[in-house]
A and B are shown apart, each in its own frame.
Chain A
Amino acid sequence: MIAQTELLEERAYYNISQAAAVLGVSRVSVWRWIRDGDLPAVRLGHRTTRIKREDLEGVLLRLGSKRTSASNQTDAGEHFVQFYEQDAVLVEAVASFIGAALRADDAGIVIGTEAHRTALDKRLAANGLDLAAARASGRYVSLDAGDTLPRFMVGDMPDPDLFFDVVGGVSKRTMRDGRRVRAFGEMVALLALDGKHDATVRLEELWNQLQHACGFSLFCAYPMERLAGESLADLLGNVCAEHSRVVPAESYTGLPSQNDQLRAVAALQQKAIWLEAEIAQRKQAEERLRLALDDERVARDAAESALRQRDEFLSIAAHELKTPITSMNGHAQLIERRLLRGGQLEAEEVTKAVQTITGQGRRLSRLLNQLFDVSQLQAGKLDLAPQRADLMETVRQAVENARLSSDGRSISLAGPASCELVIDALRLEQVLTNLLDNAIKYSPHSHEAIEVVVREDGTTVELSVRDHGLGIPPDKRGHIFERFYQAHTSGHRSGMGLGLYVSRQIVELHEGEIGAEFPAGGGSRFFVRLPMKGTL
């Protein structure tokens, strides 16, 4: 107001833009007031319209000190929304808006909550208005929003036809005799508070259509406090878009000067930016938390899988260890039974039993050594004891041993007479024994010989074991050198899944390479390649 008075003192005539700035309304509103004769204007020349200073002063006086309530600025055809914090402020604004109409012998329609209607009636009566007479002459209609709303709602949405029947009917009756009408409505606020956001915006649209048809002024109000929060931002935006003018809540409009209002806007902008930043930070934190949870789940799955693998391994290892023990125990008991029965023991029987017992003892030792090797490997403690040796001698020894337990299958050996290398001969014998064991185990019905071949080309020596047995299913070939992995597990016993794993470690400690090929004719060909000039 201070700024406006200062402006008024400066000049005698104002153009439309200047007048709008002084009055704090749009240029369209100024034109409307001029058109309706509410604001006298002077034509200066063909296209120039000016407003006298005293006429502007008259309008400012009419607007009076209640400038901030916004309600007096309204004009026919305007649909504005006021956000409010205190009920008393809203009642005061509505009393001013409806009161002005009643005083001018125009009409007022109120569709509000019971509490607001009661307070409004009291306020209007206190302002000296005869409400009973206004009601009797049809100039004042006050309806309960909660009762009126269900009369045109179908499901969760307002029905246009019913709305025009119910609300349009009231409007038309009130407008008879050419009265101008001002209407205040809170049904939209009820829908918004009920969480029916689509219905709220739809009802605002219907009000706009009705207002366009009838030409009355319309005042909507929403309680600011109860419409706060991120989730209501869209609704607030849509509601504002439906109105020709938006009046912010009183904590803003109550500010005495434009300067204070600008400060408040700046503070609000700062707060909005800060909130946006905080929301972004919160989303980042949520994202970090989600990633951390994902990581944790992956780690837990891996740990559970490792536990399952360990349990499975323990059960397989127990099975493998119990099998030779069964033989050893059984053969010992068999001899004991015969002795206890006082029978004669044939030397051949005893020899056979003892051979079985020692054979199974060796099998047991090999299994235990494998387990020990794995624990050494895990701890990084499996060391080689390399020295110059004849690889062929080692190979011949392994083949000889394998022939003893080959179940009648023949094992052929081809290679040079000797092949001197720096190796850990015992460890390489272990590798070859593993390969031969597998070849025997997985060619149960094959009568073809298992072929062991040693070849050297001056830089590399290759040792291979070829069988004509089951081979390895293609989908499992990539895993056979992994720890605990068993290619033949469909309910069958096939060792501890350690042999090839330990073999690979031993070959790699020799800086060599171990691999497998699966020839078209079936079976497998495992090979070990060692550098001939190894400097172990």
Chain B
Amino acid sequence: MRDSSVDGAKKVVLVLEDDKPIGELIRSVLAEEGLEPLLASNGIQALAFVREHLPELLLADIHLAGSEPVEDIVHAVRSFTGPELPLLAMSASREDGRAEALEAYGFLSKPFDLATLLEEVQRGLELRQQRVRLS
């Protein structure tokens, strides 16, 4: 039951965002595109989701408020999903090497257009397919 990417099922995208209006916005857009967005605002919520569902993509704000470093959350999530889980990093700050260190395939700079968001998400899902095939 943990793998929701079987034919016909919606692809799960885990969204890690602590700014509520932005998180809601992303959830609405992804849902309209036929995806299954799970919105987590901290590490505990994110891990609760990955115990139940296997996401195909992690979309994460890498400058979260709160006391948990985003690196710890990403590593914990990948320990459930496997290292092939593509990460799309986003932030209102400039990329300072953190996204690269987390091996993100893309970086979304806030404020972003919804079209760009969807293109990047699409690219990540394709990447995930390739990685699964290769492994």
Contacts and interface: CB of A to CB of B under 8 A. Distances in A.
B64 A330 contact: no
A333 B113 contact: yes
Interface in A284-337: 315, 318-320, 322-327, 329-331, 333-334, 337
A24 interface: no
Interface stretch (A77-85, A92-100, A490-498, A499-507): A490-498
Contacts of A470: 67
A109 B123 CA distance: 102
Nearest to B114: A333
Contacts of A370: none
Kindly name the residue among A324, A326, A327, A407 whose own CB sees the greatest number of chain B CB atoms within 10 A: A326
A444 interface: yes
Contacts of B63: 319, 491-493
A319 B24 contact: no
Given A326-B110, A333-B113, A334-B25, A407 B20 contact: yes
Given A334-B114, A337-B114, A326 B92 contact: yes
Kindly name the residue among B21, B63, B91, B110 whose own CB sees the greatest number of chain A CB atoms within 10 A: B21
Interface residues of B, number: 27
Contacts of B130: none
A327 B110 CA distance: 9
A326 B32 CA distance: 19
A356 interface: yes
B101 to A, nearest CB: 12
Contacts of A146: none
Contact of B19 (A318, A323, A334, A488): A323
A320 B19 CA distance: 11
A444 B63 CA distance: 16
Nearest to B26: A330
A348 to B, nearest CB: 12
A445 to B, nearest CB: 8
A490 B65 CA distance: 9
Given A323-B22, A330-B25, A334-B28, A315 B111 contact: no
Interface in B81-134: 91-94, 110-114
Contacts of B113: 329, 333
Contacts, number: 78
A344 B66 CA distance: 39
Contacts of A337: 29, 32, 114
Contact of A356 (B21, B65, B91, B110): B21
Contact of A491 (B29, B70, B112): B70
Contacts of A338: 32
Given A315-B93, A322-B92, A334 B64 contact: no
B65 A329 contact: no
Nearest to A338: B32
B69 interface: yes
B65 A359 contact: no
Contact of A492 (B21, B26, B29, B64): B64
B110 A492 contact: no
A444 B111 contact: no
Interface in A34-80: none
Contacts of A407: 20
Interface of B: 19-22, 24-26, 28-29, 32, 42, 63-67, 69-70, 91-94, 110-114
10 contacts: A319-B63, A319-B93, A322-B92, A327-B25, A334-B25, A337-B32, A488-B67, A492-B63, A492-B67, A493-B63
Given A322-B92, A327-B21, 8 more contacts: A315-B93, A330-B25, A330-B26, A334-B28, A337-B32, A356-B21, A359-B21, A444-B65
